[in-house]
Amino acid sequence: MSEIRAIRGMGDILPADTPVWRAVEATVAATLTSYGYSEIRMPILEKTALFKRSIGEVTDIVEKEMYTFEDRNGDSLTLRPEGTAGCVRAVIQEGLINATRRLWYGGPMFRHERPQKGRQRQFHQIGVEVFGIATPDIDAEMIVLSNRLWKALGINEGLQLQINSIGSPAARAAYRDALVTYLGQYRDALDQDSQRRLESNPLRILDSKNEKTQSILRDAPSLEQYLDAESAQDFADLRRLLDAVGIDYVVNRSLVRGLDYYNKTVFEWVTDRLGAQGTVCAGGRYDSLVGQLGGKPTPAVGFALGMERLVLLLQEQGAGSALEEPSVYVVAAGDEAQQQALVTVERLRDQFPQLAIVVHAGGGSFRSQMKKADKSGARIALIWGTDEVSNATVTVKALRGQARQQTIALSELGHFVSGSAALTD
Domain locations in the chain as residue ranges:
18-168+228-316, 328-424
Cβ-based neighbours of 93, under 8 Å, separated by 6 or more: none
Q: Would you say residue 422 has pLDDT above 80?
A: no
Least confident piece of the model among 115-129, 170-184, 308-322: 308-322
Q: What is the pLDDT of residue 342?
A: 96
Q: Which long-range contacts (CB under 8 A, 24 or more apart) does 374-379 make?
A: 374/399, 376/325, 376/326, 376/329, 377/323, 377/325, 377/326, 378/325, 378/326, 378/327, 378/328, 378/329, 379/327, 379/328, 379/422, 379/423
Q: What is the pLDDT of residue 409?
A: 96
pTM score over 0.85: yes
| CA 159 vs CA 97, 118, 246, 348: distances in Å | 33, 15, 15, 45
Smallest Cα–Cα separation from 423: which of 325, 333, 337, 341?
325
Q: How far is CA 388 from the centre of its chain?
A: 49
Q: Would you say residue 6 has pLDDT above 90?
A: yes
Of the pLDDT bands very low, low, confident and very high (cuts 50, 70, 90), residue 421 is low
Least confident piece of the model among 23-37, 174-188, 280-294, 325-339: 174-188
Looking at the domain that runs over 328-424, which CATH code has it been given?
A: 3.40.50.800
Q: What is the pLDDT of residue 277?
A: 77
pLDDT per residue as tens digits for the range 62-118: 988 999 999 999 999 999 999 999 999 999 999 999 899 999 999 999 999 999 988
Interval 227-249 mean pLDDT: 97
Look up the CATH superfamily of 18-168+228-316: Bira Bifunctional Protein; Domain 2 (3.30.930.10)
Least confident piece of the model among 72-81, 218-227, 241-250: 218-227
